[in-house]
Structure 1
Amino acid sequence: MKSSKSSEEPSIRNATSEDAAAIASIHVKSWQSAYADIFPAEYLAGLSIEARTKAWQQLLEDNQNVTLVAEANGAIVAWASGGLSRDADGNGSSELHAIYVLPAYWGKQIGAALMSGIEAVLHFAPKTTLWVLRENHRAIRFYEKFGYVADGTQNELERGGVKRWEIRLQKTNNKQVA
């Protein structure tokens, strides 16, 4: 019998353009919490859910990548997006572009369920990569649990007038590619 710890298992599904506002809200709220000690408070406070909603509506309508959402307790609480690698040296690799969970759901296995879902979609490639801020230790630990390791590639990123480094992690997929 399952523990009563979680009254509802998360439901993972493909996102639709109707999900754009929920995805944008999660995107902004997650950034504001996860990066509070990494980027300036003024920059994070200025992130616009409305602007992100418009961007997400366009991305979801263009249907260039896969975006999944996780629902729990009747609401979208997390999302993940991925597709072909955007890196110049991607060579047919897949890339986890982003995964975000509402802070209230951190540590409740929503991210793990969503990660398993997006990895199943990205498994077509011999390896999957992702980029993460070097200072985001919580996220790095999460990815390491799924077998991702740093490959030595770094990229400088500027947000809110502050420069930070992203590192690339990668994971070899078990699927045999003919």
Structure 2
Amino acid sequence: MNIRRAVSEDASQIAKVHVDVWRTTYENIIPNEYLRQLSYDKRERLWRKNIRELDVYVAQNEHGNIVGFSTGSHNYRNRYNEYDGELSSIYILEAYQGRGIGKKLLKAVVSRFENLNITSMIVLVLEENPAKHFYESLRAKRIDSVQIKGYGGELTELVYGWKDIHSIHI
């Protein structure tokens, strides 16, 4: 598995992973009507912008296809100011989950944060998303729970944090 920084030409494949993972992971969590209307084209435009503005990393399989990605940035939220970084996302196609790719994608973001002197970070995860167990297994501490409106309903988002990213065993 090759992990590398994303380039603009990756936007289309990242968009496909993004939509496909949402449709499998959030089925029965987010209303199916919302999931059906997700568009590869709209997500591609989003990822072209994100690649320019964020730290985006991709996981490529042996054929060079992108099967997962991660993003991270400074924590620009008004809350949780004691955390200076935010792991914005880790998405991996269902067929590739459980192979250690998530840890490799997380490591790419953490390494970038270390280079930027970012020493702590948060991640927000929908309460019903099984990925929360991934963060818990890496000793993330639950620091908050917030209600959000969007995605066709009201959902609970859990906020996890690491006060010291050097303590993450990846």
**Number of equivalent positions:** 162
Aligned mate of 1:125, from 104, 118, 124? 118
- Map residues 109-124 of structure 1 onto 2, 5 A cutoff: 109-123=100-114, 124=117
Higher mean displacement: 76-85 or 138-147: 138-147
State the SS of the aligned residue for 1:24.
Answer: helix
Does 2:5 align with 1:14?
Answer: yes
In the TM superposition, residue 122 of structure 1 has moved relative to its aligned partner by 2.2
The structure having more radius of gyration, on CA atoms, is: 1
Unaligned runs of 5+ in 1: 1-9
- Map residues 34-113 of structure 1 onto 2, 5 A cutoff: 34-60=25-51, 63-73=52-62, 74-89=64-79, 90-91=81-82, 93-113=84-104
In the TM superposition, residue 157 of structure 1 has moved relative to its aligned partner by 3.3
In the TM superposition, residue 114 of structure 1 has moved relative to its aligned partner by 1.1
Percent of aligned positions that are identical? 30
Runs of 4+ residues deviating >3 angstroms: none
Asked whether the equivalents of residues 70 and 105 of structure 2 are also in contact (C-alpha less than 8 Å), the reply is yes
How does the TM-score come out when normalised to structure 2?
A: 0.89
State the SS of the aligned residue for 1:36.
Answer: coil
Higher mean displacement: 119-128 or 100-109: 119-128
Alignment partners' CA distance in 2, 1:55 and 1:174: 28
Aligned residue type for 2:75: S
In the TM superposition, residue 91 of structure 1 has moved relative to its aligned partner by 4.9
Higher mean displacement: 118-127 or 49-58: 118-127
Unaligned runs of 5+ in 2: none
State the SS of the aligned residue for 1:150.
Answer: strand
> Aligned-residue CA RMSD in angstroms?
1.5
How does the TM-score come out when normalised to structure 1?
A: 0.85
Residue number in structure 1 paired with 2:139: 147
